[in-house]
Amino acid sequence: QVQLQESGPGLVKPSQTLSLTCTVSGGSITTNYFYWTWIRQPPGKGLEWMGAIAHDGSTYYSPSLKSRTSISRDTSKNQFTLQLSSVTPEDTAVYYCATHFRVIDSPSSLNEYKYRGQGTQVTVSS
């Protein structure tokens, strides 16, 4: 059973860079066909796909966030990381890491992903 766990600061100041890590256990992030994904859900809104990193290290980003988003990985730690720069209060959300056999870039439910973390609240405020 693959398990994912998000970690990172719960409070970030405006204009700073948000950095979150997803630690994966029970499976390798280099396993063929999996796409390791970041999704967020702002308060009162639906899910927003942010981007993904594939088993081979290829990255995919939401066009609306691409200029501020970077997803990387550390295969030695079996982790992948999200960095979102120049944050504003509109970036306040619950952030999830998840994985599936393909890129799901318009999720309506977290259940669409094979495995997912429990989510972590990030608030952008001074």
Q: What is the pLDDT of residues 42-100, one digit of tens each?
A: 999 999 999 999 999 999 999 999 999 999 999 999 999 999 999 999 999 999 999 99
pLDDT value at 4 more than 90: yes
pLDDT given for residue 68 in this prediction: 98
Q: What is the pLDDT of residues 96-125, one digit of tens each?
A: 999 999 999 999 999 999 999 999 999 999
pLDDT given for residue 27 in this prediction: 92
CB atoms within 10 A of CB 98: 25
Long-range contacts of 40-43 (CB under 8 A, 24+ apart): 40/93, 40/94, 40/95, 40/96, 41/93, 41/94, 41/96, 41/119, 42/90, 42/92, 42/93, 43/92, 43/93
Q: What is the pLDDT of residues 22-50, one digit of tens each?
A: 999 999 999 878 999 999 999 999 999 99
Contact 60, 51 (CB under 8 A): yes
Mapped onto helix, strand or coil, the DSSP state of residue 74 is strand
